Chain A
Amino acid sequence: MTSRSLLAFLSATSMLAGSAGLATAQDVTLTIESWRNDDLAIWQEQLIPAFEAANPGIKVVFSPSAPTEYNAALNAKLDAGSGGDLITCRPFDASLELYNKGQLANLSDLPGMENFSDVAKSAWQTDDGSATFCVPMASVIHGFIYNKDAFEELGLEVPTTEDEFFAVLDKIKEDGTYIPMAMGTKDLWEAATMGYQNIGPNYWKGEEGRQALIKGEQKLTDPQWVDPFKTLARWKDYFGDGFEAQSYPDSQNLFTLGRAAIYPAGSWEISVFNTQADFEMGAFPPPVKAAGDTCYISDHTDIAIGLNAKSPNAEAGRKFLSWVASEEFARIYANALPGFFSLSSKPVEMQDPLAQEFVSWREKCEPTIRSTYQILSRGTPNLENETWTASANVINGTETPEAAAQRLQEGLASWYEPQKGK
């Protein structure tokens, strides 16, 4: 009895599976590998239906894994030949390695690729820029988020130059109601990412300085690389008490609880802050040296998507990637995740006012990416990680800007050929 019902069940399921296979025989199913399990709902409810409606015959499955396991799991799958058709790409070396191993397809000639600037593509290109292997999806922009209510209460204007910036900070400090700036050095990366990489591009002139550093034409001890440290060293007077032990969530809470007036930010904070802060927020780009100077912003390329070189559904995959490069994708994605901005050079309509403010800087400022990410963090000591410690030390006042820059330069020159002997 039991065995017979089991048999019946098994045959029924196999028939079901068989008929399901028949119905979709002409359909192609694309599987997306990703670490963004937070975005599962957005993919399933908005992005995939939009694509499938326009492209009958192609089914898409979004199959994310945990962020911390993604790189290892993906490498193992690709080595075993069982990876998905579409691969979400980490920026720079992690994806470059996959391309060099022949696991990511060359997408340089993909229709839609022309929608992206060279900076946007730089995170997913070979060092010489000859091949692009992932379609850029989103970037995060650095700047400062401020408490609009507090600014109104104290009669403050949004600063555009560095002098104005420090004048505003002085005024908030004098008044005493608010902590002028919410930032701590305990977690180190805040100091580097929200500090050094936030204001730095204005000093080293964005791409110009970044490229010159990679080519070995500039050094980290040059004034344009030391000056951001000097400015950072001045910040500590405007932090809350005990900022040395203030962690990243502490800083977020200080700001969203309305106890601090300015928050050195990355745009990924927008959706979190929107749900937590009950005051109006505004944003301004890193202040320039003198009024009228060109402004530079860190518009850091963070996420992209590529094609598994061994995918049997390459044609459908390329179709999907072209759609990812389109305006439609950019609009849905940017609105679902305010603060993760499309890298497309075509303007994208966004509803969130704070996100609109951030992205509007792309029009008036020159974008660049974090200086330490491309090529320069390939060796030991690792420039990015060293910059964390150096930035925190400079803010804490335990290392002078010059000494910190000197140490970074020595570390870089110890393994990076173009910087050797400088």
Chain B
Amino acid sequence: MAAATKPIRWHIVLFLAPAVLVYTVVMILPLFGTLQLSLFRGTPDGQVFVGFDNFRTLLGDPRWSASFWNALWNNVWFFIIHMLVQNPIGILLAALLSNPRLRLRGFYRTAIFIPTILSFVIVGFVWKLILSPIWGVAPDLLGMIGLKGLFAPWLGKEEYALTTLGLISVWQFVGIPMMLIYAALLAIPDEILEAAECDGITGMAQFWKIKLPLILPSIGIISVLTFVGNFNAFDLIYSSQGAMAGPNFSTDILGTFLYRTFFGFQLQIGDSNMGATIASMMFFIILAGVCLYLFAIQTRLRRYQF
């Protein structure tokens, strides 16, 4: 039966086109270009298809795999620091800020959020100066409270450098979870809190039993954002430790490893194929992490409709 075919709704195509085109050109094509590049190998006769050989080199060759696992583990540690320090502090700050009895709330909110809008280069440079054993204020400040002995050239010690950088990054970005949680806390209807008070749930108990369950979806989103941000991180390490991510690659994360490999460094000539291989691995790791969250965690989160 010749049903009247629906006219094609051109306006939908028209309105979608700019976003789709721009996204395709700047995101999807480069992504597939990278994936394609990782399956080839440069030879004097041009690019040759080698299947998964580059991935085999990255994971199988003792040198490449040592660098890769080192960078991956450093990345994981970087992420752990953010999850253990940044997000709990962010939640705590948000809980404090949402307390209606707190004065100067706007000031604190702005002050804590400001580092987030600073450039990495500034943050890296400022902290390098603060922590500098020669010119920095850190040794003197510690000296004033009699703890000079605790000072160490943290950015130059293999065992502390990455943790120090992680904490600097936490300092910079703690404003983001704070703001998101703050918004979520403000969105909780007063009726619910009043009902809780009627049932005798107040103070800390109210936070743990009423507010926290209600902001769990936001915490989930923040965790995903932190995960993606950390596994794509590069700028802070590069601006404060350089592309060699010293000392002794102890601050090398996937981003700096990718940069060195892809673009080359000093006498090392860039290898775009191995670089693309690392970039692809980063993509797969992030994809796996996000999928894990979407399918295993988010579907189990209970949502409350107000």
Residue A240 at the chain B interface, CB threshold 8 Å: yes
Which chain A positions have C-beta within 8 A of B271? Answer: 380
Surface stretch bound by A, among B23-31, B76-84, B131-139, B296-304: B131-139
Q: A250-B134, A254-B134, A384-B266 are in contact. Are A187 and B156 (CB under 8 A)?
A: no
Q: Is the CB of B268 within 8 A of A411?
A: no
Tell me the smallest distance from the CB of B271 to a CB of chain A, in Å: 7
Which chain B positions have C-beta within 8 A of A383? Answer: 267
Residue A245 at the chain B interface, CB threshold 8 Å: yes
Which residues of A396-411 are within 8 A (CB) of B?
A: 396, 398-399, 411
Q: Which of B128, B135, B248, B267 contacts A382 (CB 8 A)?
A: B267
Which chain B positions have C-beta within 8 A of A207? Answer: none
Tell me the smallest distance from the CB of B180 to a CB of chain A, in Å: 34
Q: Is the CB of B268 within 8 A of A242?
A: no
Q: Is the CB of B63 within 8 A of A381?
A: yes
Instruction: Type the 1/0 row for A173-204, where 1 means its CB is closer than 8 Å to any CB of B.
Output: 00000000000111111000000000000000
Q: Is the CB of B133 within 8 A of A242?
A: yes
The main secondary structure of chain A at its interface with chain B is loop
Q: Is the CB of A245 within 8 A of B267?
A: no
Surface stretch bound by A, among B45-53, B239-247, B283-291: B239-247
Tell me the smallest distance from the CB of B275 to a CB of chain A, in Å: 12
Q: Is the CB of B156 within 8 A of A246?
A: yes
Looking at B128, B135, B158, B268, the one whose CB has the most chain A CB atoms below 10 A away is B268
Residue A44 at the chain B interface, CB threshold 8 Å: no
Tell me the smallest distance from the CB of A164 to a CB of chain B, in Å: 28
A393–B268 Cα distance when bound, in Å, is: 20
Q: Is the CB of B242 within 8 A of A245?
A: no
Residue B114 at the chain A interface, CB threshold 8 Å: no
Q: A242-B133, A382-B267, A389-B246 are in contact. Are A247 and B128 (CB under 8 A)?
A: yes
Residue A243 at the chain B interface, CB threshold 8 Å: yes
Q: A242-B156, A243-B153, A246-B153 are in contact. Are A396 and B267 (CB under 8 A)?
A: no
Q: A245-B131, A250-B132, A377-B267 are in contact. Are A186 and B155 (CB under 8 A)?
A: yes
In the complex, which residue of chain A has the Cβ closest to the Cβ of B61? Answer: A414
Instruction: Type the 1/0 row for A112-153, where 1 means its CB is closer than 8 Å to any CB of B.
Output: 000000000000000000000000000000000000000000
A185–B139 Cα distance when bound, in Å, is: 19
Which chain A positions have C-beta within 8 A of B293? Answer: none
Which chain B positions have C-beta within 8 A of A188? Answer: 242, 244, 246-247
Tell me the smallest distance from the CB of B2 to a CB of chain A, in Å: 59
Which residues of B44-74 are within 8 A (CB) of A?
A: 63
Which residues of A227-255 are within 8 A (CB) of B?
A: 240-247, 250, 254
Tell me the smallest distance from the CB of A375 to a CB of chain B, in Å: 11
Tell me the smallest distance from the CB of B22 to a CB of chain A, in Å: 26
Which residues of B261-281 are within 8 A (CB) of A?
A: 265-269, 271
Q: A188-B242, A242-B152, A246-B153 are in contact. Are A396 and B268 (CB under 8 A)?
A: no
Residue A388 at the chain B interface, CB threshold 8 Å: yes
Tell me the smallest distance from the CB of A234 to a CB of chain B, in Å: 19
Q: Is the CB of B63 within 8 A of A244?
A: no
Which chain A positions have C-beta within 8 A of B241? Answer: 186
Q: Is the CB of B134 within 8 A of A240?
A: yes
Q: Which of A244, A246, A380, A399 contacts B268 (CB 8 A)?
A: A380
Q: Which of B133, B151, B157, B265 contacts A246 (CB 8 A)?
A: B133
Q: A389-B246, A398-B248 are in contact. Are A245 and B133 (CB under 8 A)?
A: yes
Tell me the smallest distance from the CB of B135 to a CB of chain A, in Å: 7
Residue B171 at the chain A interface, CB threshold 8 Å: no
Q: Is the CB of A243 within 8 A of B156?
A: yes
In the complex, which residue of chain A has the Cβ closest to the Cβ of B244? Answer: A188
Q: A245-B133, A254-B134 are in contact. Are A377 and B248 (CB under 8 A)?
A: no
Residue A373 at the chain B interface, CB threshold 8 Å: yes
Q: Is the CB of B134 within 8 A of A377?
A: no
A242–B244 Cα distance when bound, in Å, is: 20
Tell me the smallest distance from the CB of B75 to a CB of chain A, in Å: 19
Which residues of B230-267 are within 8 A (CB) of A?
A: 241-242, 244, 246-249, 265-267
Residue B154 at the chain A interface, CB threshold 8 Å: yes
Tell me the smallest distance from the CB of B274 to a CB of chain A, in Å: 8
Q: Is the CB of B133 within 8 A of A187?
A: no
A373–B266 Cα distance when bound, in Å, is: 10
Q: Which of A184, A250, A399 contacts B135 (CB 8 A)?
A: A250
Residue A356 at the chain B interface, CB threshold 8 Å: no
Q: Which of A186, A377, A382 contacts B156 (CB 8 A)?
A: A186
A240–B133 Cα distance when bound, in Å, is: 9
A249–B44 Cα distance when bound, in Å, is: 41
In the complex, which residue of chain B has the Cβ closest to the Cβ of A244? Answer: B156
Tell me the smallest distance from the CB of B256 to a CB of chain A, in Å: 13
Q: Which of B156, B244, B249 contacts A245 (CB 8 A)?
A: B156
Q: Which of A372, A380, A381, A396 contacts B247 (CB 8 A)?
A: A396
Which residues of B127-184 are within 8 A (CB) of A?
A: 128, 131-135, 139, 151-158
A399–B244 Cα distance when bound, in Å, is: 17
A254–B132 Cα distance when bound, in Å, is: 13
Which chain A positions have C-beta within 8 A of B151? Answer: 242
Which chain B positions have C-beta within 8 A of A350? Answer: none
Residue A93 at the chain B interface, CB threshold 8 Å: yes
Q: A242-B133, A250-B132 are in contact. Are A389 and B153 (CB under 8 A)?
A: no
List the interface of chain A (C-beta within 8 A of B). Answer: 93, 184-189, 240-247, 250, 254, 372-373, 377, 380-385, 388-389, 392-393, 396, 398-399, 411, 414
Extra contacts, 4 of them, besides A184-B156, A389-B244 (Cβ < 8 A), are A185-B246, A247-B128, A389-B246, A389-B248
List the interface of chain B (C-beta within 8 A of A). Answer: 63, 128, 131-135, 139, 151-158, 241-242, 244, 246-249, 265-269, 271
6 residue pairs bridging A and B, Cβ less than 8 Å apart: A240-B134, A242-B134, A389-B249, A392-B247, A393-B248, A396-B156
For the complex of A and B, the 6 pairs showing the least CB-CB separation, nearest first, are A242-B133, A244-B156, A245-B153, A245-B156, A242-B153, A382-B268
